Amino acid sequence: MLSSLFQINTYKMATKVSIGVLGIQGSFIEHKYHLQLAASRMEGIEVTISEVRCESELQSVQGLIIPGGESTMMNILMNKTNMLNSIKAWQDNGGKIWGTCAGLILLAGYVQDNCDLPFEENKSIIGNMDIKVCRNFYGRQKDSFVGQIMLQDKELIDNGNENFQGVFIRAPAIVSCGDNVKKLAVLQADTEKVVAVLQANSMASAFHPELTTNDSRFHTFFIKFVAGLVKA
C-alpha cells in the first residue's frame, strides 16, 4: 500500500524533431505526405512537419528536405531571396539537409552539366558534399525510369528487405564519392552506381523516394538522422 503510494511513474519522453520541406519548386507536397506517413509509424519520436520558404521558417526547423525539380531554377530563386546563404549558415549551425535529385545537385561539391563537359566546382554555395555529380546522366525526360535499388545501410533495410523501387526523373548520377561519404544505396542493374549518400550533416539521393508508393523508409531514415539516432 505504502509502496504504491510512493510509486514513481517513469514516462518516456518523446524526442521532438521539426522537419521542413523547401517549398519553392518541385515535389514538396509528396515529401510532406511521406514524412507524415513515416512519423505516424514511428514510436518515441514526435515530428513537426512544415513548408519552408523564408529565413524565419528555416530557423524553426532542424532538418530540411530540398526536393527534386529543376536545380538551375531553384538556384536562381534561392539566390534572389538570399535563401542559399541562409541555408548554408543554418547548416553550419547544425541543421541537417536531405537533397533529392535536383536537391542532390545543389549539395554536390562538383557538377558537370553533361558527361562530355568538365566538372565545375558547384556554384551553389550549399555544394559541400564530397561527391561529383553529372546532371541528366540517363538522358532526357522521356528516358526517365523506375529502377530497383539495393539498400546498403542496415538502418534503411526494414524486415530484411534490401530492395527499394527508385523513381528516376531526368536524374543525375553520382559519378564519384570521397572516402568520407557513406554509400546508402546502389542501383541493382549497375552496383557501381551509388544513388544515395550520407556525409556529415547532409544526405542526398539521385532519385525521388517521395514518389515511391507506401514505402517511407528513406523518410524514416531522415527523421532518425535529424533526431541524431543515425550518424554519417
Q: List interacting residues with ligand GLN (CB under 6 A).
A: 68-71, 101-102, 105, 135-136, 169-170
| Cell numbers that stand for 8 in this block | 514513481
| Cell numbers that stand for 40 in this block | 505516424
Cα dihedral 110→89→155→183 (10° resolution): 10
Select 208 or 224, whichever has its Cβ closest to ligand GLN. Answer: 208
Select 111 or 198, whichever has its Cβ closest to ligand GLN. Answer: 111
Question: Over the range 67-99, which residues count as b (16 or more CB within 10 Å of their CB) and which as e?
Answer: bbbebeebbebbeeeebbebbbebbeeebbbbb
As measured in angstroms, the least distance from the Cβ of 16 to ligand GLN is 30
For 200, left (φ over 0), alpha (ψ -120 to 50), or beta? left
Select 63 or 172, whichever has its Cβ closest to ligand GLN. Answer: 172
Sign of CA dihedral 211, 216, 222, 227: positive
Asked if 101 is an active-site residue, the reply is yes
Check 31, 101, 134, 219 and give the catalytic one: 101
Select 147 or 224, whichever has its Cβ closest to ligand GLN. Answer: 147
Select 58 or 169, whichever has its Cβ closest to ligand GLN. Answer: 169
As measured in angstroms, the least distance from the Cβ of 32 to ligand GLN is 17
Asked if 210 is an active-site residue, the reply is yes
Residues designated as active site: 101, 208, 210
